[in-house]
Amino acid sequence: MYPYKYIDSIIARIVIYLSQMQASETKLQQIIEGTKQYIVPLFQRAYSWKKNEWQVLWDDIAELCTVDNPRPHFMGSIVTMPTTSVPEGVGKYLLIDGQQRLTTAFILLSALRDKAKQSGEDELAAEIDNTILLNPYKKGLDYYKLQPTQLDRESLQRIIHSTHSELPNSNGILECYSFFERKIRQSHIEYQKIKKVICSNLSVVSVVLSNEDDPYLVFENLNAKGRPLTQADLIRNYFFMRIHVDDQENVYEKYWEPMQKLLKEDLTEFIRHYLTKSGVDVKQSDIYFEIKERISRGEPLSYLQDLCIFSKYYAKLLNPELEEKENVRKYLQRLKRLEVSVVYPFVLNCYHDWQQSTITENELVSILKIIENFIIRRFVCNIQTRGLNRIFALLYSQVSKDTDLASDNFVVRLKSALQSRNYPKDTEFQSRLMDVKLYGSNRSEKAKLILESIEEFYKHKEQVSFDKLSIEHIMPQTLTKWWKEHLGEDWAITHELLIHSLGNLTLTAYNPELSNDDFPTKKIEFKNSHLELNKYFSNKDSWRKDDIEQRSAHLAEIALQIWEYFGDDLVETSKSSSFIGSTPKQVNIFGQDYPVKSWRDVLETTLNLIAENEPVRFLDIIQNYPRFVGWDEKDFRSTRELKNGAFIEVNLSATTIYSFCQKAIETAELSIEDWYVETVN
């Protein structure tokens, strides 16, 4: 028997069901096809998935559509319980766990059906309706394959009947439908291919409970403390099914339990990174199938032992304070602050090499510095992060096998490998440092790291501790009457474009005291500062647009020395500066070219496409940049109206339009690679 007393009580019931073979790996098609109905119990929460979850699912589907023979793709677990229905009714199942993913699948298939109808693929649309979404020969509520809670029932039924235009824009189910409708439209993937991947390649672990179980108690167990059944739970179960019953308790205590205690809720993600370090980019949904396949080819105990060793390395990535070596600890801390866990598979390999004395401590630190350099430059230049997971999944094996270089030095080979992977050169890095938005949301910690690094660059003999320092905006986030008069006629444009730029940011322990003070008052406080960063202001009498830009240029020069370019080609014309003194010919956005004749056309085209493809983020742009775009024409000097009824200010210079478009792209959480202006002289 399992050593149940050591198994978390939250999932003990499910482990029992799995061990009794009540669970099965099932294609999504087998779950949703046939005359049946899934009923979400009243005690379940309403539909709550958002864009992050939708994007992950769509990326998985889109990638599977590019493969000739895609492997099963794990979505998660579906826990159901058969319920009694009247003789003439359909077979009904309570959907105890998995309602979010199943509801999303139904919404996605509804969007696919509608696109198929619009394209004249009536047979495919009818197939989706009659075999998946509906029980076509049933009446009343039995007509629907999925019955959500009362809060979501009408919304889902309108989606299924294509009458969703009557739903409010804030409806989560409608937002989900609109998201997938846009993705399907933009992807140009054959509709039949998408349907086949959804039904035949998306897999779940189906757990069917017996009628004797209390569904509320099971749901409570699954979701206690917000923790549903994880892939790590399934993996543990599979491991112990392959270990002799007499050894289970000892093995659990020696290997699995320490990992569980050390990593807690991060255990599943650790296993994904552990699998990825071998050079295969393992997605979140594939963890269970991937490790199951690997375990089946070898001896499970030795695999578990190795997993346990690497879990200790991983714990130091999550909590660098566990690292004993001071220099290694410092750069692990910096790496953590960059919030790029996609590098962890590569770092795990390098850390293991250090532990095995294959590389030295200095080499490991050099490797961590190179990764930081690569990530910082790409962050500042707003280069998409979507491809980083594949880059770092393959990087270790590529660098290790690189025999083209005369040097056997791993660090040298690493620099060579990364410089060809969208690594920004000095001109681009310097240009973007001048006006890139560094502060706000997930950017603030990186901004603080950049400012701390610049302060350290001065090599002050009495280094100030950064622990109690925070970021201060010299030109404040909320402008007073003094500041508006000081900045001049275009105070609003200056404020919106430069408020979060490098030149306007510093570090201080007096952030609350300084607040919205005028510049002369702030200058007095900065004079008393022990930071080298703040000595810059001692000779400044004003803080206007030119002053901010001059400081940005000054700090950018220092940043170029801190994160020095490690490539071979030091000179290249930067796209970001190629527009100066030129006329736009076309703007490339989302991979398509749109002809333009002026910079005003560039602005209009860019905002129209963001509004169409990222409507929620478009509202963020209006909120953050009201001087440039809004709903009231009277707020602007000279306008053009967008397709969605919003107005944009067009009485702007080419430089200002270019800068604002970059800010809009960043706010929409798109990559600068998704937007580029081609010009002619």
pLDDT, position 3: 39
pLDDT over 60 at 301, yes or no: yes
Query: Is residue 188 over pLDDT 70?
Result: yes
Question: Could you tell me the CA-to-CA distances from 320 to 263, 351, 464, 557 in Å, in that order?
Answer: 13, 13, 21, 30
Predicted pLDDT at 594: 93
75: pLDDT confidence band, cut at 50, 70 and 90?
A: confident
pLDDT at 219 over 60: no
Q: What is the pLDDT of residue 229?
A: 57
| Most confident option among 40-54, 140-154, 405-419, 618-632 | 618-632
Q: What is the average pLDDT score of the chain?
A: 85
Give the pLDDT of residue 575.
45
Can you give the pLDDT at residue 512?
A: 66
pLDDT > 90: percent of the chain: 50
Task: Tell me what pLDDT residue 408 has.
Answer: 67
Least confident stretch, 221-225, 562-566, 605-609: 221-225
| Beta-ladder partners of 97 | 79
Task: Please tell me the pTM assigned to this model.
Answer: 0.72
Assess whether pLDDT exceeds 80 at residue 267. Answer: yes
In this predicted structure, what is the pLDDT of residue 7? 40
Q: Band of the pLDDT at 218, cuts 50, 70, 90?
A: low
pLDDT digits (tens, 9 = 90+) for 568-585: 764 343 444 445 567 899
Least confident of 405-414, 483-492, 543-552: 405-414
Task: Please spell the DSSP secondary structure of 516-574, one letter per residue.
Answer: T--HHHHHHHHHT---GGGGGGGG-S--SHHHHHHHHHHHHHHHHHHT---SS------
Least confident of 246-250, 256-260, 359-363, 659-663: 246-250
Q: What are the tokens at 329?
A: 């600890």
If one compares 33 and 486, the residue with the highest pLDDT of the two is 486
Which range is least confidently modeled, 510-514, 541-545, 657-661? 510-514
Banded pLDDT at 225 (limits 50, 70, 90): very low
| Residue 148 half-sphere exposure toward CB, CA atoms < 13 A | 24
Average pLDDT over residues 481-500: 94
Q: Where are the domains of the chain?
A: 23-208, 235-420, 429-562, 578-680
- Ramachandran quadrant class, 590 (left: phi over 0; alpha: psi -120 to 50; beta: rest): left
Q: How far apart are CA 220 and CA 10, in angstroms?
A: 8
Give pLDDT, residue 140.
Answer: 85
Res 473: pLDDT: 94
Residue 37: strand pairing partners: 92
Among the ranges given (145-149, 217-221, 538-542, 553-557), the one the predictor scored with the smallest mean pLDDT: 217-221
pLDDT in tens, 9-38: 334 444 444 444 355 678 888 888 888 899
Q: What is the mean pLDDT of residues 626-650?
A: 94
The arithmetic mean of pLDDT across residues 656-677, rounded, is 85
Residue 358, both tokens: 């294959």
Average pLDDT over residues 414-433: 90
- Rounded to the nearest 10 degrees, the angle between the axes of helix 410-418 and helix 361-380 is 10
Instruction: Detail the DSSP E strand segments found in 414-529.
Output: 470-473, 505-508
Rounded-to-integer distance, Cα 249 and Cα 238, Å: 15
Point out the least confidently predicted range of 58-67, 314-323, 334-343.
Answer: 58-67
User: What does the pLDDT read at residue 17?
Assistant: 43
- State residue 227's pLDDT score: 45
Q: What is the mean pLDDT of residues 415-432?
A: 90
